[in-house]
Amino acid sequence: MLAKLTNWKTVIVLAVLILPFNVFIFPARSAKLRELAGKNVPTVDSMFAHTPAQVYAVISDYGEQGRQHHALTELTADLLYPILYSLLLGLLVTLIFRRAFASISFMQKLWLLPFVAAVTDYGENATVVTLLLPYPQKLTGVAWAGSLFTTAKWVLVGVSFILIVVGLIALLIKRVTLEKE
């Protein structure tokens, strides 16, 4: 099934599907949280390597309506987004690495990395909702787990983009080398 989807047409469709999240949905969520908090506040899932005290300060700043709004977006838009971005990044890595590296290379297995990022994103989403809904009850262990999930997500997404760049560089080197021969 995934082999049939591994083409540039699917990459374009996924990019188009992701665009509204990055241009409208998530910026609207941030704007609404700013409005409800009365000041500029980050979303919990954008906080890299946070402590429980930091995350609870932000959650407190949201106010009751902000916490409800954030939980709602975590349970709706942020359920679909990890599927879309992991498919997009995984397909890009696959399409580029197929041409850049030998089929028996370890590099061919790295297309799975964006899907690991999506798993950590879902763990993050679960912890965010778990922190938002029972507030003011503080769940320190859940807050630490959320920080680990968030940090892992951002690292894995960053490495996925680095893999794409590495693949493009390897592909360029391969083409230049072949043209010289």
- pLDDT value of residue 1: 57
* 76 half-sphere exposure, CB direction, 13 A CA radius: 10
- pLDDT value of residue 2: 62
Q: Is 62 exposed, middle or buried (0-12, 13-18, 19+ CB in 10 A)?
A: buried
Per-residue pLDDT band for 181 (boundaries 50, 70, 90) equals low
How many whole angstroms from its chain centre is CA 110?
16
Q: Where are the domains of the chain?
A: 50-176
Please give the model's pTM, rounded to 2 decimal places: 0.91
Mean pLDDT of 113-118: 97
In whole angstroms, give the CA distance from residue 144 to residue 50. Answer: 8
In whole angstroms, give the CA distance from residue 144 to residue 12. Answer: 37
- pLDDT value of residue 106: 85
pLDDT tens sequence across 63-80: 999 999 999 999 999 999
- pLDDT value of residue 174: 87
